[in-house]
Structure 1
Amino acid sequence: MSEPLIEDGALPDAPVARALTHLARVLAYVGGVVLIALTLLSSYSILMRTLFDEPLLGDVELVQMGCGIAIVLFLPLCQLNRGNVIVDVFTLNAPAAVRAWLDAIGGMLVALSAALLAWRSGIGVMDAIATGEESTIMGLPLWWSMSAFPVGFACLTLTALYTAWQDLNKERG
């Protein structure tokens, strides 16, 4: 398994790695703020439901939208930290060069999947804007919550390409 790009909170020396790390951290912080807001919103709704039998209408919609936003914004940092689940039962005793190649292939597959998801979610955002699609209970436009998906997946594409490139260079070195 490859080592994480980010160690002990320090930024890497390479300019590309530094930029990707900074971008991934900013997206993760935004995702964290979204989760804190969702926690406060849920707590408020539960409190209002318990005390006054008046829950916040549409709280489930907001939590669903917010969780999707937070998750997609966490993915690039997860990739840089090599935090994705890796099943290495068959490669545990394989030579380092084989593991590096497999990690690079995995990174390229993640990049390909993320690029496809960025493209299609971008089309989904444009479609939601064009059709004026709204949430069921609150009537909120759906495009605003969907707009984080192309950004998060595009950043994931770049970070996965970078980690794959790292793995290939490690194999050569």
Structure 2
Amino acid sequence: MYSFFLKLSKLMAWLGGAMLTALIVMVCTSVLGREVNGILHADWLVSLAPGLSRWLLDLGIGPVNGDFELVESGIAFSIFAFLPLCQLTGGHATVDVFTNYLSDRVNQGLRLVTDIVFAGVMVLIAWQLWLGLASKKSSGQTTFLLEMPVWWAYALSLSGAIVAAVIACYVAAMRLREVASGRVILPIDLGANH
């Protein structure tokens, strides 16, 4: 079961990374287009080469229309897409100033509690996204510039949140099994320690 969830979480991380990369390229293109558009509207260029300036502007050189709407939608998905791998591999950042002095058994219990709470929060977030998706879909609300249905962004985020919730529940169940059996089943705190 662990290998299936590991493959699924890696797939989600790759999808989140692809989304993040696409958003970065789009934002850079938009910023560059906005800057070039400003130069093409400059009085000195319009007077020096009015035909060239008008021709380039007619090509559509400028910022990406609705770039902030796309960033809002894509970033939410990326965040949810990275959570499963981080949770499954114990990759969350930890501050262990206090817990370093506790026994392994107490630390195991603390991991169990935090993983159960994390699973509960992820299930709650997924449920709220589902309710938001249903509400936005029934209202027909769209974004301002692109007039893209808002529920599309909710659906994209919900897909990542569902995978994150399922994997968080699996991790919580495995931590419970670890406490019951006294053996280590999943990786422990592979993340950055501060």
Aligned to 1:166: 174
**Contact 1:35/1:67 (<8 A) preserved:** yes
Write the deviation string for residues 128-164 of structure 1: whole angstroms up to 9, x where unpaired: 1111111122211111111122222222222222223
The answer as to 2:47 corresponding to 1:66 is no
- What is the alpha-carbon distance in structure 2 between the residues aligned to residue 73 and residue 100 of structure 1? 26
Write the deviation string for residues 39-91 of structure 1: whole angstroms up to 9, x where unpaired: 11112111211112321221111112111111111111111121223332221
Shift of 1:108: 0.5
Aligned to 1:141: 149
How many residue pairs get aligned? The number is: 158
**Contact 1:42/1:59 (<8 A) preserved:** yes
Consecutive unaligned residues of structure 2, counting only runs of 5 or more, are 39-61, 184-194
The answer as to 2:116 corresponding to 1:108 is yes
What TM-score, normalized to structure 1?
0.84
State which of 5, 25, 28 in structure 1 corresponds to 2:13. Answer: 28
SS in 1 for 2:129: helix
- What is the alpha-carbon distance in structure 2 between the residues aligned to residue 69 and residue 164 of structure 1? 23
Q: Report the AA paired with residue 9 of structure 2.
A: A
The answer as to 2:96 corresponding to 1:94 is no
Identity within the alignment, %: 30
Aligned to 2:93: 85
Consecutive unaligned residues of structure 1, counting only runs of 5 or more, are 1-15
Deviates more, 1:152-161 or 1:26-35: 152-161
What TM-score, normalized to structure 2?
0.75
Aligned to 1:4: none
Q: CA RMSD, aligned part only?
A: 1.5
- What is the alpha-carbon distance in structure 1 between the residues aligned to residue 36 and residue 157 of structure 2? 36
Shift of 1:169: 3.6
Larger radius of gyration: 2
